[in-house]
């Protein structure tokens, strides 16, 4: 199971944080000539978008793009809001509505995503 991306959007609709967590790397490079000979086939795997708003006062929205089989997305969104509160809002150099550029926020968010992928839902005190 995988969590692909995390987005944080301010109340004006501006993107203030983006993390592409799961980005498959291409092992080979391929060049194309035009016209492209493409055949589109339906595929079963889908991406589910989980929307979560955890800060109604400030209007900050947290979005997670995840595999549909991933469990605990609501708990992950609560954990992301907790990380945002602890490491972005309490940072004296961070201004509301501005892009989040905090090393501790990045580190703790990546750790929370790894825990969510391996263990599933977050319990109390995690």
Phi, psi (degrees; rounded to nearest 5) at 20:
-95, 100
Tens of pLDDT, residues 97-126: 889 999 999 999 999 999 888 875 555 545
Q: Which of 108, 101, 96, 106 is closest to 14 using CA atoms?
A: 96
Banded pLDDT at 46 (limits 50, 70, 90): low
Q: Which residues pair with 61 in a beta bridge?
A: 9
Q: Look up the pTM and report it.
A: 0.70
CB 6 within 8 A of CB 22: no
β strands within 1-126, DSSP E: 3-9, 15-20, 48-55, 60-66
Cβ atoms within 10 Å, residue 124: 5
């Amino acid at each position: 199971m995988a969590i692909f991306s995390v987005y944080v959007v301010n109340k004006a609709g501006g993107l203030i944080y983006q993390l592409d967590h799961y980005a498959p790397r291409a092992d080979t490079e391929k060049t194309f000539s035009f016209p492209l000979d493409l055949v589109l086939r339906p595929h079963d795997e889908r991406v589910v978008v989980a929307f979560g708003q955890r800060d109604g006062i400030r209007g900050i929205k947290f979005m997670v793009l995840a595999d549909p089989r991933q469990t605990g997305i609501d708990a992950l969104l609560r954990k992301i809001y907790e990380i945002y509160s602890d490491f972005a809002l309490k940072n004296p150099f961070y201004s509301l509505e501005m892009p989040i550029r905090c090393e501790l926020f990045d580190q703790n968010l990546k750790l929370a995503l790894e825990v969510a992928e391996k263990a599933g839902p977050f319990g109390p005190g995690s």
